[in-house]
Each structure stands twice: as structure tokens, then as C-alpha cells.
Homo-oligomer: A and B are copies of this chain.
Amino acid sequence: MRASRRSRGTVTIQDVARTAGVSAMTVSRVMNGERNVRESTRAAVQEAIDRLNYSPNTAARSLAAGEATHIGLLYANPSAAYLTQFLVGALEGARRAGCHLVLEACASESADEQAEATRRFVQSGVDGVILPPPLSESLPIHAELAAARTPVVTVAMGLPQPGSLNVRIDDFDAAATMTRHLLELGHRRIGFIRGHPNHIASLERTRGFMAALEEAGIDPESAPIEQGYFTYRSGLVAAERLLARKQQPTAIFASNDDMAAATVNVAHRRGLHVPADLSVVGFDDTAPATTVWPELTTVRQPVGAMAEAALDLLLASLRPHKSSTMSGVFEHVLDYELVIRESSAPPSADARQPARPRRARG
């Protein structure tokens, strides 16, 4: 009995089958959670699996099943922190599912270049594509993908098409909750920095903000709102504009952490203390939220979990036969969490007095 060709000490499905006294097929069924296995058999197999510490060979599995193996991830890079968390989540999901992640950057905002990048990407032979924000909203990309009949799952797209796959949190609700937090602290003049205008989640967050104001009897139309683009740089500009207004806000709600961090920076440059003179809150709970000082009150989006959920959704649609209990699920709305840190506090007494002249810039 000579050793097999590649005598690596790995335990195979055959070993498990022999140990459990069943056929390899039955082990395979247990591993894949198929229904028609008697409970006693399943338990015996499971015990053998545990005892031998068996884990299936993903290469053999995808080869035999002819499964989709290459999932594309087309990304732009507005925030490194967000992307990192997203990648980590997606990779964890890919490892579990035994599929490969194929990355492609698409930095440009030009429709032609986006379409071109998408075409090259699809050519490379991916079985499905994950579209994190902000690309999830790009029309040229969706058009190109549809033309190639490549399945897509979008992440954080505010207004999903019916029948298309989407993973998101309730941006409207989250923004309203955050706004209520500021209102409860006693703020009445709350500035808002919008996210990228092409991004429907931006709209949802803005709507949530305004709805909460209205709820509190404040005219949302008169609220100080500036446009941002989710980048640190755009946050600097928007914060400058908000703080240059005659009626200076006592709190600023930025649509993501990068812009909130920029707002903190501008406040410091202007000699304002956060949160004593100005509360600043963000959205996403990415790294900048905890690297700036003071640490930001923000909304935690479970970015990694969303990436995993997106991958699962896509794979489920790509492999229709498997445990079909959850087929027909097209959307997955995950829970957010309000994270209260040090950058939000009640407004100071003098800050409440409107139009008080402030020191000129340092």
C-alpha cells in the first residue's frame, strides 16, 4: 500500500466516510446540509467530521460542482477605511464559500471610462459582480453589466430596482436617529453636510435629517446644508462654508466620517472646541472616527457584514439549486447602531445666542 501521489497529510471525504461507516456521498450530503439524511446517520457523520477535523477541499468542490468561482468587486476609493472593512468582509465570505475575489478599481467618474472599465472587467470572466458604493449607483456600469448578462449585487443603494439584489441599512432611519440625538442634546441650529449627489443613500440621509427636524418643529428648509462628496477634501470646503455663515450652527452632522473628521479639523483651525463650541457627528464608524480627537459620535454601518451578505446573496442567486429555502430573497437590510463618543455634547450657553460675533480666524 504505497502512499498516494501527493502524500499531504490532509484528511479527505473518503477518510470521513470510512470512519463513519457510510459512503462518501452521504458525507457530502451532510456537509452541504441536504435534507434527506436520517438523523442518526447525520450525527454519526458529524462526529467523524469533528473527530478527524475534516474540512473539505474547496478546489475539488468547485471543480466537481462546476460552481461559480470568480466574483468581481468593482470599486472606487472614496474612503480607504470603508474599503478596507469592505474587503475584509468580502474576503471572509469568499473564503467560506470557496470562491475567488477579483478586484478592479474604477476611479474615474466619466461614464465612458466606467463603461470601458466594466467591459474589461467582465471580459476577464467573472461570474458575478459586487458593487459597493459609490459605484452601486452608476448607470453606465449597470448598463454594461446588464448587456453582458452578468449578475450584480449592489451595496447601500438607496433605491433598489425591483428584482435586483441589494444590501443596505436604513439610511433614512439612521440619519433621523442621529438628528434626534442632537436635538435631544438641545441643538436647534444643526448644519448638515450632504454626501455625493449621485448617491441615493445621500438623499436618504438628507431626508432622514430633515424629517427629524420637522418632527421637532424646526423648518427643515431653513437648515444650513452644504454639499459634500464623501471625501475629506470636500468636507473641508463644506465645513468652512457652514462655519462662515452668520448664523453659525452649534452642531454639524456630516454624511460620513471622513467629512466629519475634516469638520473637526476646520473647527480647530477656527479656534472652536469640539464638542464645547461645536458638536460634530459622522456616519459609518470607519477608522477616521476614532483617529481624530475627539473621537466621533457616528452611525456604525456593519460594513464587513454587509460585504459578506452581498457575497452570500450573489452566490445564492448564482447557485440556485442549493438549500433553496432562502431563494427569492432580493434585499437584505442590516441593523445600524448609534455610537455615541466624545464629539457631541449639549451646546454651550453662549453658543445659543444667535449671530454672536466670533473671533476672526487664528
Contacts and interface: CB of A to CB of B under 8 A. Distances in A.
A80 B81 CA distance: 5
Nearest to A67: B59
Contacts of A233: 291, 293
Interface stretch (A14-22, A93-101, A171-179, A213-221): A93-101
A287 B80 contact: yes
Contact of A268 (B83, B103, B269): B269
Contacts of A69: 57-59
B58 A60 contact: no
Report how many copies the assembly holds: 2
Interface in A268-286: 268-269, 271, 286
A92 B84 contact: no
A232 B101 contact: no
A271 B362 contact: yes
Contacts of A293: 233, 236
Contacts of A77: 84, 287
B55 A125 contact: yes
Nearest to A233: B291
A140 B88 CA distance: 24
A330 to B, nearest CB: 24
Interface in A227-250: 231-233, 236
Interface of A: 5-6, 8, 55, 57-60, 62-63, 66, 69-70, 77, 80-81, 83-84, 87-88, 91-92, 94-95, 98, 100-103, 105, 125, 231-233, 236, 258, 265, 268-269, 271, 286-287, 291-293, 362
